[in-house]
Structure formats: C-alpha cells, structure tokens
Amino acid sequence: MPGPPFQSFVECCRRRVTPETCPNARLVGSNIPIYSGPHLAPFLEDSSRISRLLNEWNRLLGEGPGVFVIEHAFERLDVIHQMTKCFEAIIAREKMAGTSRGDHFGDNERIWNSFQKSSIQSPHLFVDYYGNRLIALACRAWLGPHYQLTAQVNNVKPGSDAQSPHRDYHLGFQSNEVIGSFPESAQTMSQHLTLQGAVAHSDMPVESGPTRLLPFSQRFAAGYRHFRDPAFSDYFEAHAVQLPLSKGDLLFFNPALFHAAGSNRSANDRMANLLQISSAFGRAMESLDRLAMITAVYPELIRRHQAETLPEALLETSATALADGYAFPTNLDSDPPIDGNAPRTQRSYLLQAVRENWPWPHLQKTLSELARRRCA
Ligand SMILES: [Fe+2]
C-alpha cells in the first residue's frame, strides 16, 4: 500500500486550474491554460501588460499547473515550414555522413544541438525563428534575462512507443542514488534552473502521441526520488492529460512536471523542436560554439539593420539567443568589473556592434579578446 509521500503527491495532482490564475488565457483545456499568439500580439507593445503576463506565467509554472500552451505562436507559419526543411536537410546530411545518432526508440530521428546547427545552416531563418518574442517572454517569465537556449529536434515515426513518466534535466537524468545524494532543498531548487519547451513542427493529433502531462505534479517536492516508483507511474498512466497541438504551437513546462511522450499511433511523423532553456545561473545540457553562431548570423543582423528591417525587440531577442549575456565565470584579474559593476558581456558587444555597424573583423577581434580575458 503506497505511503504518505504518495498521498501528498495525489493531493498535489488533484488541484484544478482556476480562470483567475490565467486571466489572459483563451481557455483552460485538460487543466492546462491555453493562450493564443494573435491575442497576445498587442501585449508585446505594452510594458505593463508584458510584466503582468510574465507574472502570470511565472506563477503558472511554479505554483500552478506547471505547464501552458501558446497556440499559433508564429505570426508567419512559413517560418515553421522553412525551419522544418532546414531540419530535414540536417537530418539527411547527418545520415549521409553516418553521424546521426537517432534516439532510444527505433528509427526515430534526432538532431542534437539543432540550435547551433540551424544558425549556421540558415542564419536568416534563425533570426526569424528564435527572434520569436513569445518564446523570449516564456523564457524570461521563468528564468529572467540572459537565459541560455539549447534545442534538439525529435521526429517520432508511426508505431513508436510511449516514454515512461519522468522529470527532466537536471536531476531527472540522474539515478535514484545520485538524486538522493542532493538535499531536498537542492532537488527543489534545480527546477528553477531550466525551462522545457517544444515547438510543434507537425500537426499533432492525440493519436500521434503529443507529450502526456500531469498538471501540478511539479509541486510535489519529493518527486525526483519517486518518479520511477510503480505507484507514481500507475497514477500518471491513469491521470495524465494530452493536448493536440498544431504546427507553430508552443508548449512550455516546468522540468519537474511528470511527463512522457506518447506513442505514435497515427500514420504520420510527429516532429518537435524541443527547447531546453537554462537560467544564466545554471549549466546548460549542451555546449554551444557561440563564436561560430555569431560568425554565421552577424552578417544577417547587419544586413537587416542597414535595411531598417531589424526592430529593436528582434535585435535584443536575437542577441540573447546568440550570445552569452552573463558576465561570469570570468577572470577578474584580466576582466575586471567596470565601475564596480559586472564586466561587459559577449551580448553587450554584439548589440553595440550591430547598432554601430561594426565591420565583422572588428567584432571578431573584440570577442576574441573578451574570450582571452575571461580565461583563467
Ligand atoms: Fe522529458
């Protein structure tokens, strides 16, 4: 008979979303707030509405259901179509080169670090896709500024099995023994270091197996130590919800939420670009060659800036995606604080360079010197 931890888990998961906690959602479906991209568009021009939305999403991800959806999050759906083609080209190239790794289920296709690879494959598309302000706001809502994006593409073939319920990075990837070696306060804290997201690249009816989710399960403090226990998995199987998604929809959830990809019983592939976004204070799961990314995308930013087709918000969002916006760790002997504040960052140099139309060799030299100054 399951004991008290299971009972308190069930109490967490019995909660229901109330409309007062998500006043800007279009509706609540399956206990998950669902927002509409077109409805949120006017919010983006109003700083007080932005801050209300940031608070709303922060509470939903923390004490609320731990998950929300934004439908039709891309103003131009062709950006999704083109990025899908870009991913398909990367998958084909990696298959040809014999470097594709697949994933743990059958012949599914996977692109690790699709984030960096897409920036180099298609810089203009990278700006349109990761310049998406709704993605940026969701990241800020949970992690604050200077978050670190990473992304992995997952293309799940018909007939693929479901995953077991789990929590995600950091501690969701560790054994029970390792998890238990961290105090519960650190286990709970770790959920604040990451935000999970997904961009739907195909329509995902329920039979194609969009992620099954257990709203409010992130609130259960001991969840990292119990998500593999049969009583908890059985409860998940009985109570998890699944929302159909359409191409261009976004899903965001707390990494401590119990979840699992569903089985694909449809006749079509299910493709998502999985976003894993880290706090500036945390360590991301994948390493990035940011200099290679900036080298690829800088000419595109300059081209748009000179053509006056680079609004300030798009520049800021693109710079956050591309460049490290946090000043630490550094070497304070060679990279001292300026006027008692934090040293300058890669991101601040990139912004200055675009605004002042620096030639690439000048920015390249500046960033190389910064990298040298930050070395121990
Ligand atoms: Fe997961």
Q: From ligand 1's centre to the CA of 2, what distance in Å?
A: 25
Q: How far is the CA of 172 from the centre of ligand 1 (A)?
A: 8
Identify the pLDDT of residue 131.
97
Whole-number Å distance, alpha carbon 166 to ligand 1 midpoint, is: 6
What are the tens digits of pLDDT across the range 120-148? 999 999 999 999 999 999 999 999 999 99
Q: How far is the CA of 209 from the centre of ligand 1 (A)?
A: 14
Confidence of residue 339 (pLDDT cuts 50, 70, 90): confident
CA-CA distance, 201 to 248, in Å (whole number)? 6
Diameter of the chain measured on Cα atoms? 69
Cα of 372 to ligand 1 centre, how many Å?
36
| Ligand 1 mean position, distance from CA 150 (Å) | 14
Name the DSSP class of 315: H
Give the pLDDT mean for 194-205: 98
Torsion over CA: 303, 308, 314, 317 (sign): positive
Give the Å distance between the CA of 120 and the centre of ligand 1.
Answer: 27
What is the CA 105 to chain-centroid distance, rounded? Answer: 22
Q: Token pair of 26, please?
A: 């279009």
Asked if pLDDT for residue 51 goes beyond 80, the answer is yes
| Integer Cα distance of 375 and 15 in angstroms | 49
pLDDT in tens, 232-267: 999 999 999 999 999 999 999 999 999 999 999 999
| Average pLDDT over all residues of the chain | 96
Q: According to the model, what pLDDT value does residue 102 have?
A: 56
CA of 310 to the centre of ligand 1 (A): 35
Q: What is the dihedral of CA 311, 113, 76, 213, to 10 degrees?
A: -120
CA of 10 to the centre of ligand 1 (A): 21
Dist. CA 260 → ligand 1 center (Å): 6
CA distance 335 to 342: 9
Contact yes or no for 211/259 (Cβ under 8 A): yes
Among 9-18, 23-32, 330-339, the range scoring the smallest mean pLDDT is: 330-339
pLDDT grade for 335, boundaries at 50, 70 and 90? very high
- Position 340 scores a pLDDT of 76
Q: Which residue intervals of 307-345 are DSSP H helices?
A: 312-322
- DSSP 8-state class, residue 20: G
Q: Ligand 1 centre from 216 Cα, in Å?
A: 16
Answer whether residue 327 shows pLDDT above 90.
yes
Q: What are phi and psi of 150, to 5 degrees?
A: -135, 160
Task: Please report the pLDDT score of residue 99 as a whole number.
Answer: 72
- Between the CA of 357 and the centroid of ligand 1 the distance, in Å, is 42
Q: Reply yes or no on whether the pLDDT at 103 is more than 80.
A: no
For residue 338, what pLDDT band results from cuts at 50, 70 and 90?
confident
pLDDT at 104 over 60: no
Q: How far is the CA of 278 from the centre of ligand 1 (A)?
A: 15
Helices (H), 63-154: 77-97, 114-121, 123-130, 133-143
Q: How far is the CA of 218 from the centre of ligand 1 (A)?
A: 13
Interval between CA 330 and ligand 1 midpoint (Å): 32
Task: Report the residue count for the chain.
Answer: 376
pLDDT of amino acid 304? 98
Distance separating alpha carbons of residues 113 and 274, to the nearest angstrom: 10
Q: Indicate whether 2 pLDDT > 70.
A: no
Distance 149 CA to ligand 1 centre (A): 16
Token readout for 159 is 């007939």
